[in-house]
Structures are given as C-alpha cells and as structure tokens.
Structure 1
C-alpha cells in the first residue's frame, strides 16, 4: 500500500509537470524568452554551448560547428536564479558569465515548466506580504528585484525612471528565501537597503513567487520523505490560493494584479492598526484609522487585471500628522474582460438564459501601453479616471443578455482632456433570479 501511494504521487507529479514542460532553443546573439500564460517559470534543464552540428547551423562555416563537446558549467543555476518564479523572463548569453569554447557558434537550450503558485509584485518602497493557511509554510520559488519592463509599477513615474530594463539584483531569491522559507507569514520590504541598488535612478519593483507546503516531518522514514517530496511537487503544479494581501507604506504606490481573472477588493484599511506594520518608516505614537477606504479602492480597481493607486484616491486625510499605510485584501475572479479604445463600442454578451452582471468598469488612462498605437503623443498622463464608470455601465447593462456601451466622453465625461482614453469592463454571466 505505501509503495502504491508513493507511485501514485510520483505519477501525479510527472503527469502534472512533465507534460507541460517546454523546450526553447535560442541561437547565439539572440535573446531567449521564457513565458507562462498561467503560473510561473521553473527551469528544469539548461545547456549553453554546442552538442551537435545541426542545431543553429544555418549559414555557419564548418569550423564553428566542429566542437560538439562544448558546455558551460553552472548554466542551470545562472538561468534559474534569473527566471524562476517569474511569468516572463528574457535573457541573453551574458548571464552565463563566460565563453566555454571560443570560436564555436553556440546556442542556449532551456527546458522549463510553469508552476501554479502565489505570484506577488510590490513596487519599490512598498511591501510584499506572503501568507499561508494554518499548518502550512512558505516555500519561495524565485524572486526578482530591479526592472525588466516599462509597464510594471509606472504609475506617476517619469520616463527616465522606467527606461532602463536590464536591471536586477542577483541575490533576490536567496534573500527572500532566507527571510521567509518555513514561516506561515512573512513581510518583505521592496527597498534598496535589503536588495542593494542594481540601477541607481531607476524605479524598481520586487516580483516573487511562492507555494504553501506542509512542514517536513524530519523524524519520518525515507518513504514518508519521498512521498512528501512527490506530493509537494504535485502541489506546486496543481494548487493555487485565492486571497492576496498587499501592504503599502506611507506615500508609496500600491499595485494590485491578477494573473488569472480580474480584481475584486474584499477589505481595505487605510490608516494604522498595529505597531509592527511599516515600523521601519514611522514612530509608534502615530496611530489612526480612516473610514471609507473600501469603497474608494473598489471603485478604482474592481474588474481590472492590474491597478496602481496611491493615497490620493481616499480624498482627504483626517489625521495629517499620523503616518498611515494601505492594507488591501483582494481576490481574482474569473470574468469576461473587455477593453475598448476611445470612440469604439464595447460589446457585452451572454449565452441564452443568462444575463450580464458588471463587476467593474474603468474609463480613462492608467498606463502608457493600452490603446496607444497611433496615439503616442496622447498617452503620457496615466492617473486619469472617471470615478462613476462602474455605475454607468452597470445601470446600462446589468440584467440584460446583451449590451453595447459607447466608449466616449459623451457617456462618461472627460476626466483628462487631450488624452486618448479607453474603457475597460469586467463582467460575469449569471442566471436571472
């Protein structure tokens, strides 16, 4: 019976992970791109060098293909430390730090899989909160601190602070793992004092992925240890957790995001509720709480895939001398997501015998990439929002099987004249009462 159970667990792990493995070959001089539509990257095998004369051989002289025993040591560790736990990772040969066979034309062959895990992004000077259920502990898959794109954590930032995208701390994974592995709850500050400053003057972010595991029973037998490892591997591939908590200190920007589905805000605290949270940035005498935060943040973020905000959305500070923070609990709902550029028409539709239920709507601009083609001179303002978009769309569409909404200033007003805007709507289809 035990051997049968172990075999079943190992089969589950193999079926779950190996069938999803991808192999990518990139010829020397080009960027290799790994990505996961669902889950996060876990690198399994890496070879940098040359092991045959056929791969990446087109147009190359025989002398550059002759050495088929060329392999860079430490390639797996180098690539895994850069990419594990991320949704998208782009690298080139420089990460391997050497040339295993000068004069040979080389390539990188990477095998990786996508693990289902908790994925967290915290903008610089904000806080990443890692939480597991009772009787489970954190296991860090990978972490990244720096900047690798021009879209993450850009709210309110000038172009010069987001233009450098080859910027990373090489010790982020080990730093977070050392702080958090084996704990049920862990707070990590996305600050240079913890990770170093890999690119001075660039606004950075912390991206990490982790799973929640049962603590290892060190007094068990070899069989129970093997069984535990197999079940953990299966869990990495097959489990996910719904609730996210984001804590942002002081004047910093808060970023909520969903890899799958859209944001639904559950709880918000703007103020101060204990003496531990954000304690590095305040004095213990500064204590207060602020009401009305849930409605303000939900109106801004519900139904979006990514939402970046700061304290200005709360429209006032009832206690100016008090140091406050934003603590948001949210989940990701499976929903239909529609983006329509300004002057277009959003089409919302459900199957027969179902009707529309609007989760959230946004009209304005919150990034520099959505609906930007042919309008590059009209996308520079990114904190532009109509605060009544959700109620406007819901009033028009809730309870109908089909609905058309014009993405125009006539319908929503003009929150930012001269800026090219878009309408973003998330909705579900429900059976009518």
Structure 2
C-alpha cells in the first residue's frame, strides 16, 4: 500500500512541475503572478500568431509570424520577478504581420530560488582552464582577478607579494565568461598585464551556475518521497556530505541539498501525506545531522581538506594560533590565547569553493602571533553541494527614489547584472519613453560596489548618481542577483 501510494504521489508531483501558460489577445493586458517566495522563470514566449485557434478572429492572414525580439522583451520584463504585467500591442513589439490579429503567449514556471555556495576556479600562471556549468546553465561571475592573494594557492618559489591583482582583470574575465555555458581562460601577462613583476600569479574566479530547477515544486516532492521511502529504521545518515545509506537502498545525494534547503515545505508535505512518525524523525535527523567537520594541522605540518565529487568546501571558522593547551600538545606553550591576524581570511581564500585544498601551518604563510608558542591551524568546514538557482530581479522606478535588496541574515548579495536606464516599455511604465535602449555607462560598477558581498543595500534612482543616459526618458534601476548562503 505504501509503495502504491508513493508511486501515485511521485507521478502526481512530476506532472505538477509542468509549466503554466498565459495568452493575451491583441489589445489586451494581463498579469503573471507567482506565490510568495517564488519567482517567474520564462521558458518560451512570443508576440505574433502560430495557429488559427488561439484568440479566434476574422482577421487571420497568416499563422506563421512572430515579432523579432518579442521573446527577449518578455523575458526582460518578467524573468526573476514575483509578478509582471504585459500588454499585447504593436507599439511595444512592432507588427510582424499587418492585418493579422495577434497575441502574446508565454510558457513559464514559478521557481523557488535556492541559496548557492559559489564555485571557485583557479588557473595557475602560464596555464589555461575551463569553467563549464553544463547544458542550459549559465555562468554568473561574482568575483574574479588575475594576480595573487595568498602563498598557498598555486605555490611557487617566486612570491614577492600576496597583494596584487591586474586592474581590469575582473572586467576581462567577466566579459569572457558571464552568461555563457562555458568559457576558457588563459593565465598570462599578455592578456591581463603584469600587476606584480617577479611574482608567480594565478586567475581566481568565484561564480555560480544559475539554472531554474533548484527548488522546483515537483523535484522537491520527488526528493522528499525518495528520502522518506529509502530511509528506514536501519538508516545511517552522513549529513556532512549529504549522503544517505540504508540496508534497503541509497538515495541520490542531490536530494539531500533540496531537502535541507526546503525544510519547511518538507514538513508540510510529510504531514499532509501522513507518513509514519519514525520516518519524520529520521528525516529531521538527516537534515540536522549536517554537522561540520574539523581539521587540525600542527605547526610545521601540512594536510589537505577534501570533499566528495560534486561537493565543495565551505569554511565556517578557521585560524592559525593556539586557543587551548590540549590541541597539538607540546612543551613550548607560552599562551593559549593567540590567533594570527587575517589567518581566517587566508584559509577561506585558499579553500572556500574548492573541492580540495592544501594547507601548511607555518609563520611564512600566517606570520607569528605568539613567538615561542607551538601553534596549529584549526578549520571547521562543511562539504556543500551547490544548487543551480534562479536569479532574483530587483527593479526600482525613478519616482520611488530608493529601493532595498536584502538577502537575510548570513547571506550575501551576488550581483550578476545591473544597470540604470531603460530596456523595455513594460517595466516602470510611463508616458515619457523616447527610447528602450539606454544604460548609464558606469551604472553596473556603481551598483555592484554598493551591493555586492553585502547582506543588504539601498539604491537611489537619481541622475546625479549615474548620469542621464537618455534625457527625456523615464528610467529605472534593474539588478539581477543571487543570494548565496551555505
């Protein structure tokens, strides 16, 4: 009975993930809306006519016409928003087939964004490397540079400084990779210039792969069903790497990430389906058993942090120094209260977002915070499985003056794209629209500098901040961003 019910529910959930459709006949307007906590992901859209039955009318001269650029306009207006308004008229899209009665048709999903752990790609000098997010996914560059920020990444005998980056390397790397499925980068001075002569350098790129499936209602349901069905009373749960094992079967590790991220929906689902109390307790244990791992490296030693394939390191807390008398016991312990300044930042810089990293506990890397005391590295970390999220979009109209982006406690804003100007007629509609193709030249950098890496930021729609890229046209700020949170 349990198996039959599970199969029926599984099939229902798979088909519940199907896209919705909206049709707006010529001259009409309508609104796409998603529930709170979900955003629109446009799958396919056009303005024109492709059949004789949709929006029936006596004036149908052709059933094969779509307005050039109409898909891009609709994506621009709706993608990443909780709701959007559309009007089907020639003034917005142009008239692809005069004399034929047309319509807007949009296929879309309401997607629940997840909070990804960014990937990190390192390419040592005089080498090339590729970033590939996989079919249908896009690279979202968060941070990037060519230079050097620590001694442990791409170790080499020629390191004169650990604080250098080529001035325009972020923009060059972003232009090569951002928005693409894949890109290849070469770490050499001929591309970026030499920001620190005599020092061996590297490219470092922090990025997300955004793809509208993490948090999908149907996939979440599948994950819950698999987890509950597979975990029996004999289950062993290794929450740190999201792996479930049982004497009956193993659950796909990808589901662990969804279950953790969507815990409130999991409980609702379980209670509705009336699964056994034991199954609920075991699922709670699976979620909350995701304890961090620890690594200790005594002074003079080296070691490696490694995560399974498909997982990346998320450093929670780390230092080089000494905080107790029992770790790495030694006769030379003058103090139990010392940590090297910036040692946490260095370890984060070396390990965060990588599948594996190597650390060495020595003064050359961290400095000596307490001479005469035997020290150690201690790092607390998790192995996290990144998810493929749908970016949020924030729009601030000119007359609203200011608007706030807030990712919530502990999360950070990752700005993917941003501008001040206008790119369509629908966003912030107004009678003064002379162009739909204008952006203030340095507005991306202004907005990124205000928001990127912060929990929250407030932006003002003022020509005094960005300049006026199209005089006489009503403008707005538009920011595409992710909230990344491990």
What TM-score, normalized by structure 1, do the two folds share?
A: 0.33
Structure showing greater Rg? 2
